[in-house]
Chain A
Amino acid sequence: MEPVAPRCALTAQQADQFDRDGFLILKDIFTAEEVEALKAESAAMRNGERDLMDGSVITEPGSDEVRTIFKLPEQSSLFNRLASDRRVAGIARFLLGDEVYIHQSRLNYKPGFTGKEFYWHSDFETWHAEDGMPRMRAVSASLLLTDNDAMNGPLMLMPGSHKQFIACAGETPDENHKSSLKKQEVGVPSHEALGKLANEHGITAATGKAGTLVLFDCNTIHGSNGNITPFPRSNAFFVFNAVSNRLEEPYGAAKARPDFLAERGEPTPVEIKTGKLA
């Protein structure tokens, strides 16, 4: 009898690795043509060739250079297709054991020379405190749109850090997201806690060619350095939340963050698609 081709989006070893480390780096899962199409679409959005929704663009601190564009599927049919692809959403659905919906999506761009750092944090801490995400049942998928190496400020993760929750000190200021999107100061672990985590778990840089997919658990501690090389760094970022883990009222803030940061209301499950993106 012919062996049956596995249908699961991950191997057993990859699933175990994600469980142990809290992240997974997948290479060569998109074709060169698909990656080129996504890079071209990303450039068009950033360069003003697309009409973008009001409030969906964040600029670098002290400049007008685009740092982030939110609500990708709503603003681009190609990124909408990417977000529903089996190689992205299919993996999220497997990891979360439920139908998934997009909690947040964005295009991140770290320009050469001036790209600023993202300080160490757990996404779940913010999503729980400020968005009202009840449990740790969400996963982030970051598709690299430029080559990421040790020099141009790649994502760094602390493997195994997702196994404990660092409850951060300090009240949430009103409208915290307006400053935290540029520089996060509330909802970050202390130097002491970060030192202990790094000594215990180490730090891994998620490097790879454009087209590499990085998946990480909502509670994995991560951050990135600034980029003083001439080479920009860019990625498309989707957060999938289990439909059963839909948002409630915030647990640690007076008011929920805006819709472009956290999808509220009745979740619309992603319809998983297979085949080439473009």
Chain B
Amino acid sequence: MTAMSKERDRRSQDPYPSRLPEERWLPRQDRTVWSQWRPDAL
């Protein structure tokens, strides 16, 4: 796979594509709080 096709592949799998011709609303695909709360959580 060439560097250019790798890059195309990376961008095609991007969950948050932006700077395209039209505005789009996309769902968030990541957590907001990544730790499970517990009293002794660091």
* A residues adjacent to B (C-beta < 8 A): 4, 6-8, 10, 12, 15, 18-19, 22, 90, 93-98, 124-125, 128-129, 135-137, 162-172, 186-187, 189-190, 193, 217, 219, 242, 248-249, 251-253
Contact = CB atoms under 8 A, between A and B. Distances in A.
Contacts of A168: 18-19, 23
Nearest to A20: B32
B11 interface: yes
A116 B9 CA distance: 40
5 contacts: A96-B34, A136-B30, A168-B18, A168-B19, A252-B18
A187 B17 CA distance: 12
Given A8-B39, A8-B42, A165-B25, 6 more contacts: A7-B42, A12-B37, A95-B32, A189-B23, A248-B10, A251-B17
Given A8-B41, A169-B23, A95 B18 contact: no
Majority-rule SS of B interface residues? loop
A165 B28 contact: yes
Contact of B35 (A4, A22, A95): A95
Contacts of B22: 169
Contacts of A169: 19-23
Given A136-B30, A165-B26, A189-B23, A7 B40 contact: yes
Nearest to B25: A164
A129 B40 contact: no
A164 B37 contact: no
| 5 smallest beta-carbon distances between A and B, as pairs | A97-B34, A252-B19, A136-B30, A6-B39, A8-B41
Interface residues of B, number: 30
A252 B17 CA distance: 8
A14 to B, nearest CB: 9
Nearest to B34: A97
A167 B18 contact: yes
A18 B32 contact: yes
Contacts of A165: 16, 18, 25-28
A205 to B, nearest CB: 21
A168 B17 CA distance: 9
Given A164-B26, A167-B17, A252-B19, A8 B37 contact: yes
- Residue from the set B25, B37, B38, B39 with the largest chain A CB neighbour count within 10 Å: B37
B16 to A, nearest CB: 5
Contacts of B41: 7-8, 94
Contacts of B28: 136, 162-165, 219
A248 B15 CA distance: 14
B1 interface: no
B20 to A, nearest CB: 6
B30 A187 contact: no
A44 B2 CA distance: 51
Nearest to B26: A165
Given A4-B40, A166-B25, A251-B11, A187 B19 contact: yes
Contacts of A167: 16-20, 23-26
